[in-house]
Structure 1
Amino acid sequence: MALPTVILPGYLESALAYQPLVESLQGLGFPAVTVPLRRRDWLTLVGGRSVAPIIQKLDHTVKQILQESKVSQINLIGHSAGGWISRIYLGEKLYVGRGEAQGWVWQAHPLVATLVTLGTPHISQERWTRWNLDFVNHNYPGAFYPTVRYVCVAGKSIYGERKRGSWLAYSSYKLTCGQGNTWGDGITPITAAHLTGAENIVVEGVKHSPKSPGNWYGSQQGLSSWVGYLL
C-alpha cells in the first residue's frame, strides 16, 4: 500500500484549490490530504514574517495522518512556497521567525519518505522572502537529508520577456533568480525550482497555479511526470 500523501498549498492558496489533485491521487491509489489552510491564514506571513503558523498546521496534519494510517512515514508535496516551507519543517535547527521571541524546531525529516516540490522558488532576490529562504539554504542546502528523497518539479511554459503576455513572467523570474529572460512556469523560473542533489524534473507546458488556464503541476500532464516517485 502506498504511503499517505500530505499536500502543503502555495502562498495565498487554500486547501480547496488542491481538491482535484487530491482526487486524482486517490484515484491512482495514493491516500492524500491537503493541509486545511484558508487564504487568510497566509496573511500572517506578509512582510517576511514567521512561517511558523503554517508549519504548525502542517505538523498537526502530518501527525494526524500518521496516527490514522498507522504508518511511520508520509510523502509530502509542497507547491510553490509550500516547498521551501516544507524544508524548514524537515529541519532540526532552531527557527526563529522575523519579529518572534520564541523559536521552533520540528525535526520532521524521519517522518517524510519523499518530498516533492512543485514550482517552488528555492531561491529569491525579493527582500522579504530572502530572510526565510536564506535560513533554509544556509542550514539545509540542496537535497540535505539523505534519508529523504527530494523530487523538484519545474514547469516550462512561458518565456519571460518585456512584452504583452509575458511581462508578469519576466518580472517574477527577475525577482526570483535575477534574470527575466528565461523559461519557467509563469511565476517560478526553472533555475530556481531545482535543488542540487535532488531528482530534478522539467515538465513542458505546465503553468504555476492550480487556477491557471490549461495544464498545471496537478493536471494529468504534470502529475504523470512525478507521481511515480511517491511509490
Structure 2
Amino acid sequence: MKAVPQHPVVIIPGVLFWDSLYDIMKEALGGYLPEEKIAIVPVSLIDWIGFPPSPEKSTNRVMSALDRTIREIEQKFPGEPITLVAHSGGGSVAMVYLLEKPFQGERYHPGKHIKKLITLGTPFHTSEHYAKIKTDFIFSHLQADFFDRVSVVSVVSDKYHGNSEGSFVEKMCYQFYKNVLDDGNVAGDGIVPAKSCFLEGAVNVTIADAEHLPTPHTRWYGTKEGVEQWIQWL
C-alpha cells in the first residue's frame, strides 16, 4: 500500500451528481487513510438544479454545503491541513470558494487549513453556459500567488478519443467534447476533453484509464482502480 499523507479529505461531487455516488470513492480512499478523516459534501440533485430551477445559483448552494463540511472537519481534527478532492464541475466550485472573492453576493473565508485541491475531470476551459459563469469568475480573479497558498493538482484521463467519423463511442465522445470546447476531435475521459482541464499554475496530470461518469460498472475516477492512478498526488 502506497504511503500517503494522513490528513483529512473532503470530497466534492460533480455537477448533477449527489453525495451517495461518492461512497465508493470514500471507500477506496479509506484504503490509504482513516475513513473517519474522509467527508463527502452533502449535495443533492436539487442543489444543482434548484427548486424552482435556478442552476445559475448552484455554485452558491454547493459552496454553502462545502463550507459547513469544512467547519465540521476542522472541529474534529483541529489544526490539521485539509485536502479537497473535487470531481468534474465540483472542482470549479471549489476554486470559486477558495478564491475568497464575492461571487453572486456571497464570499467565504476557508482559512489557512486548506492546503491542496485535487480536481478530477474538471474543465477550466469551457463554452458551456453555466460552467462558464464559474470559469470566467475564476480567471478574472486568479493570480499566481494563489498557488502559493493552495496547491492545485488537475487530473484528467485521455482514455477516449473523439472522432466525428469514427465508431459509435468515438462519435459520442466527439459530441460531448464539442459541447465543452469547439473541437471534438481530441482525447478525454469520455465527457470532458483532457486539454480543457489544463490549468496554468496547477500540476496538470493526465492518466490513462479512467472514465468521467460515476456510474456502476465503469472505471471512473472514484473507483479503486481510478484512485490508484492519482493517489500519489494526495
| TM-score in terms of structure 1 length | 0.89
Is the aligned partner of 1:63 residue 2:35?
A: no
Change (3 A) 1:215 1:50: closer
Q: Provide the residue aligned with 1:81 in structure 2.
A: 89
Change (3 A) 1:143 1:189: farther
Shift of 1:80: 0.2
Deviations 1:139-186 (A, max 9, x none): 126783312111110111111122522333212211212110000001
Is the aligned partner of 1:15 residue 2:15?
A: no
Q: 2:157 aligns with which of 139, 155, 158?
A: 155
- Map 1:118-133; keep pairs closer than 5 Å: 118-133=120-135
Decide whether the 8 Å contact of 2:7 with 2:80 is kept in 1. Answer: no
**Gap regions ≥5 residues in structure 1:** 97-102
Q: Provide the residue aligned with 1:104 in structure 2.
A: 106
Q: What is the root-mean-square deviation in Å for CA atoms of aligned residues?
A: 2.0
Q: Provide the residue aligned with 1:184 in structure 2.
A: 188
Q: Give distance in 2, aligned partners of 1:129 and 1:37.
A: 17
Is the aligned partner of 1:54 residue 2:54?
A: no
Is the aligned partner of 1:28 residue 2:41?
A: no
Q: Give distance in 1, aligned partners of 2:208 and 2:145.
A: 23
Shift of 1:46: 4.9
Secondary structure at the aligned position of 1:165 is classed as helix
Change (3 A) 1:202 1:109: farther
Q: 2:170 aligns with which of 163, 166, 170?
A: 166
What is the aligned-residue identity percentage? Answer: 30
Q: Give distance in 2, aligned partners of 1:182 and 1:17.
A: 28
User: Aligned residues, how many?
Assistant: 224
Change (3 A) 1:38 1:142: farther
Shift of 1:40: 2.1
Q: Give distance in 1, aligned partners of 2:144 and 2:172.
A: 28
Q: Provide the residue aligned with 1:140 in structure 2.
A: 142
**Gap regions ≥5 residues in structure 2:** none
Decide whether the 8 Å contact of 1:87 with 1:140 is kept in 2. Answer: no
Q: Which deviates more, 177-186 or 70-79?
A: 70-79
Q: Which deviates more, 17-26 or 104-113?
A: 104-113
Shift of 1:64: 0.5
